[in-house]
Amino acid sequence: MDGYLGSYATLGILLLVAGAFFAVAYTANRLLRTNAPSAAKSTTYECGLDPAGGDWAQAQIRYYVYAFLYALFAVESVFLFPWATVFDALGMITVAEMGVFVAVLALGLLYAWRKGVLSWTTA
Amino acid sequence: MTVTDVLVCALGAVSLGAAIRVVTTNQIVRAGLWLVVALGALAGVYLVLTAELLAWVQVLIYVGAVVVLMLFAVMLTRAPIGRSDDLDRPRLPAILVGGGAGLGLAAVLADAYRWSYIGLSGVEPGNAEALGREVFTGWALPFEVLSVLLLAALVGAIAISRPEVGERREES
Amino acid sequence: MSLDMFGHDPWWLILIKILVVFVFLIVSTILVIWFERRVVGRMQHRPGPNRHGPFGLLQSVADALKLALKEDIMPTLADKAVYFIAPIISAMCAITAWAVIPFGPEVSIFGHKTALQITDLPVAVLVVLACSGLGVYGIVLGGWASGSTYPLLGALRSAAQVISYEVALGLSIVAVFMLSGTMSTSGIVASQAENPAVNIFGLEFNVPGWYAILLFPSFVIFVISMVGETNRAPFDLPEAESELVGGFHTEYSSLKFAMFFLAEYINMFTVSAMCTTLFLGGWRAPWPISIWGAANTGFWPLLWFMGKLVLLMFFFVWLRGTMPRLRYDQFMRLGWKVLIPLNLVWILVVAGIRVSSEQEAGTAKTLIIGGVILLAVGVIFFYPRRKQYQAPAVADLGVGGFPVPPLDLKVPPSPRTKKIAASREATGVSASTTTEEEG
């Protein structure tokens, strides 16, 4: 194995060992644990009451907007990472490029801010 | 067949199989999980082809952010456990469109490369420095346009997700 | 130290390293639970666990064994397969991140020269970020697959929290990449070894190369967001017991619950180890010890690394012992309106300084000026906008001095009931209910 694939092979071995660890732990748990199933135990937890209604609750749209902002800034950071390692060699023009990029995305953040998306309780 | 060839083929098969499960499963959240497997296997293909920055970016953006976004969206509307039999899915047109697009792309790629073989030994790994130099010298304009695209998408998402202003006035 | 030295170990050496890391993670989880309970006990003037073994050291071992041997309950409504794999995803992601954490320099094990690090990659820090990003799946899927309302809501809250602070965490690392010029963890540790000369008001002296000092704002943002990212106090909203009965793992029991528990603690170690590596000089000895020439060779660095890790764990416990929990809106406001804008400004400031002043001596000086500017921005952001408390003109004494609501209290009808009543009237079944409400 050469250096590049060797490094990732090590990562692969780590994943295999972790998988073996989980297999052993789950098997041991299955063999050793107590087991006294009952219908009441496996009902949904509802603070001691009988569960009512479905298993699903309407979530707020805000979660979606935060996830969207996360995707946006994740894209921004994956461009910032390679930029951070090369901007020194490429000089001022690269900094200006990134400045424009960050500014446009900051505009998006500002828009979300102004529209009250970023504060949890607007209405 | 080198180790690389075997790995690329295996990961490609995993990706294809998972992608087929995405469109055939009846359970909507599990479809999202199969999408994670498909995209992850694709990241593995990038990794084996020494494009390591791209591979981890694929994991961070597509697996880590985009599918989470989709899961959030699914849970906002309806995410039942178990089969949803009311999923609307005309099979024949879907097979025609999907299969046609896939075969067309495969034919174009196969025709472009024919039997030429590019070994990985002499190729510079696609690490951060190499990719960064490319993006910030040769591809600066697409990079800037991308930011505008992202901004437009964000503004659209916020506009859709906001409660109707008129309705709220009425309530209070 | 260079990246070329990784990826050449024989397989038995790789296995030894991996097993040592596994044992380290599990033993230290048990020890840290004990440590946390003792220290919090101390802070709250109570002894903490002190029955089993010396200083109660065996308490966590007993708890762990008991937890793993409990009955495993699979809720009827659960999605069985996803319910099963969610804790595994969580723990797997937490463990994988440790593949690239540097424990020490190159040493000789059984006559084989190797670094005290499982492996290193040119994009190692991205691997850690990817692992914490994928850990979100364990939370979302665990909450969803339970088939219960509380875990689902807890999972959404928890996931929104983790992804919000992941952005701040990722952006705070960018400045480190800018100074070190690399994303490999061993490279970042090596780049903190130098002591750059600083020229302040004509006085020339060497500052330590730790990025915690050179990039102090990044360090502060990293520390805040690492606490938010791991869902720890004062940001432990997902497990706010009074509202969510425990959050996304409400329905979990036995070993599956233990896996979530393990993942939570390993994630704490991971962010602490990343903090050490990125900002606190990694395994390198701190200043007074580093005068001793052999401090950074052989197995000694393990000691310095563990010392820094324990200090950071103490910091986590200290926060838990002293800080009240934030409200969700305050928490989100801090992340999106303070940490991320500050981060973006800081990155551009560092870039501008770094590029405009190519001469080495001026760099640190201008860095300090930039820091002062940033501090001013920070003060503006953090400046308390709290209104002065005004005592009510007439003291509300209530009944016999107790604050009770007045007898003629009128509750304004909420718009929601109005809407429901209206919709009922439309269908023509509301006559009796509305009269009841009015009466």
Q: How confident is the model at residue B169 (pLDDT cuts 50, 70, 90)?
A: very low
Q: CA B5: distance to chain centroid?
A: 22
Decide if A69 and B135 are in contact by the 8 Å CB cutoff.
no
pLDDT of amino acid B78? 73
- CB of C150 less than 8 A from some CB of A: yes
**Domain assignment of residue C157, given as a range:** 3-382
CA distance linking residue B50 with residue B44, whole number of Å:
10
pLDDT of amino acid C433? 42
Amino acid letter, residue C382: F
Chain A residues whose CB is inside 8 A of the B147 CB are 100-101, 104-105
Residue C238 tokens, joined: 């997902």
CA distance linking residue C193 with residue C282, whole number of Å:
9
Residue C404 lies in a domain: no
Degrees, nearest 5: CA angle B42-B48-B50: 110
Q: What does the pLDDT average to over C148-169?
A: 85
The closest CB to that of B127, out of C123, C130, C415, belongs to: C123
**Interface partners of B (3+ CB pairs, < 8 Å)?**
A, C
pLDDT of amino acid C402? 65
Name the closest residue on chain A to residue C351, using Cα atoms.
Answer: A95
- CB of C356 less than 8 A from some CB of A: yes
The closest CB to that of A77, out of C170, C336, C351, belongs to: C170
CA distance linking residue B8 with residue B85, whole number of Å:
36
Residue A41 tokens, joined: 């135990």
Decide if B150 and A117 are in contact by the 8 Å CB cutoff.
no
C179 forms beta bridges with: none
Residue A104 tokens, joined: 């446009």
pLDDT of amino acid C313? 93
Higher pLDDT, C136 or C399: C136
Q: What is the DSSP letter of C204?
A: E
Picking from B29, B56, B72 by the largest number of C CB atoms within 10 A of its own CB, the best residue to mutate is B56
Q: At what angle do helices C124-145 and B28-48 cross, to 10 degrees?
A: 170
**Residue-averaged pLDDT of chain A:** 81
Q: How confident is the model at residue B15 (pLDDT cuts 50, 70, 90)?
A: very high
Task: Indicate whether A117 pLDDT > 80.
Answer: no
Task: Indicate whether C222 pLDDT > 70.
Answer: yes
CATH fit for domain A3-114, picks 3.30.365.10, 1.10.10.1100, 1.20.58.1610, 3.40.50.620:
1.20.58.1610
Burial zone of B84 (CB within 10 Å; 0-12 exposed, 13-18 middle, 19+ buried): middle
pLDDT of amino acid C201? 54
**Residue-averaged pLDDT of chain C:** 80
Domain positions in chain A are 3-114
Task: Indicate whether B172 pLDDT > 60.
Answer: no
Q: Taking Cα atoms as reference points, which of C235, C215, C213, C102 lies closest to residue C162?
A: C235
Amino acid letter, residue B172: S
Q: How confident is the model at residue C416 (pLDDT cuts 50, 70, 90)?
A: low
- CB of C436 less than 8 A from some CB of A: no
pLDDT of amino acid C13? 86
Q: What single string gives the DSSP state of each residue in C93-112?
A: HHHHGGGG---EEEEEETTE
Question: Looking at the 3D structure of chain C, how many domains does it have?
Answer: 1
Selection from C7-11, C260-264, C364-368 with the highest mean pLDDT: C260-264
Residue C397 lies in a domain: no
Measured over all CA atoms, what is the biggest interatomic distance in chain B, rounded to whole angstroms? 71
Q: At what angle do helices C59-68 and C11-43 cross, to 10 degrees?
A: 110
Q: How confident is the model at residue C355 (pLDDT cuts 50, 70, 90)?
A: confident
Cβ atoms C263, C93 nearer than 8 A: yes
Q: What percent of chain C has pLDDT over 70?
A: 77
B3-82+93-138, CATH topology level: Four Helix Bundle (Hemerythrin (Met), subunit A) (1.20.120)
CA distance linking residue C186 with residue C188, whole number of Å:
5
Chain C residues whose CB is inside 8 A of the A2 CB are 7
**What is the SS3 string spanning B98-135?**
HHHHHHHHHHHHHHHHCCCCCCCCCCCCCCHHHHHHHH
Cβ atoms C113, A36 nearer than 8 A: no
Separation of first and last alpha carbons in chain A? 60
Cβ atoms C122, B128 nearer than 8 A: yes
Q: What CA–CA distances, in Å, run from C409 to B56, C412, C413?
A: 61, 9, 12
Residue C178 lies in a domain: yes
Q: What percent of chain A has pLDDT over 90?
A: 10
Cβ atoms A29, C254 nearer than 8 A: yes
Give C416 to chain A, closest Cα distance, Å: 14
CA distance linking residue C73 with residue A43, whole number of Å:
10
- Please write the tens of the pLDDT for every residue from B21-39: 888 888 888 888 999 999 9
Residue B6: how many other CB atoms lie within 10 Å: 11
pLDDT of amino acid C326? 83
- Please write the tens of the pLDDT for every residue from B71-87: 888 887 777 777 777 77
Chain C residues whose CB is inside 8 A of the A43 CB are 75-76
Q: How confident is the model at residue C116 (pLDDT cuts 50, 70, 90)?
A: confident
Q: Report ipTM for this prediction.
A: 0.87
Selection from C5-19, C202-216, C385-399 with the highest mean pLDDT: C5-19
Higher pLDDT, B4 or B105: B105
Decide if A83 and B66 are in contact by the 8 Å CB cutoff.
no
Decide if C122 and B82 are in contact by the 8 Å CB cutoff.
no
Decide if C7 and A69 are in contact by the 8 Å CB cutoff.
no
Residue C410 lies in a domain: no
Name the closest residue on chain B to residue A104, using Cα atoms.
Answer: B147
Count CB pairs under 8 A between chains A and B.
129
Sign of CA dihedral C393, C399, C404, C405: negative
pLDDT of amino acid B44? 92
- CB of C125 less than 8 A from some CB of B: no
Q: How confident is the model at residue C108 (pLDDT cuts 50, 70, 90)?
A: confident
Q: Tell how strand C104-109 and strand C112-116 pair up.
A: antiparallel
A residues 16-75 near C, CB within 8 Å? 17-19, 21-22, 25-26, 28-30, 32-37, 39, 41-47, 51, 53, 55-57, 59, 62-63, 66-67, 69-70, 73-74
Contacts of A28 (CB under 8 A, 6+ apart): C68
CA distance linking residue A116 with residue C434, whole number of Å:
36
Task: Indicate whether B104 pLDDT > 90.
Answer: yes
Sign of CA dihedral B132, B137, B141, B147: positive
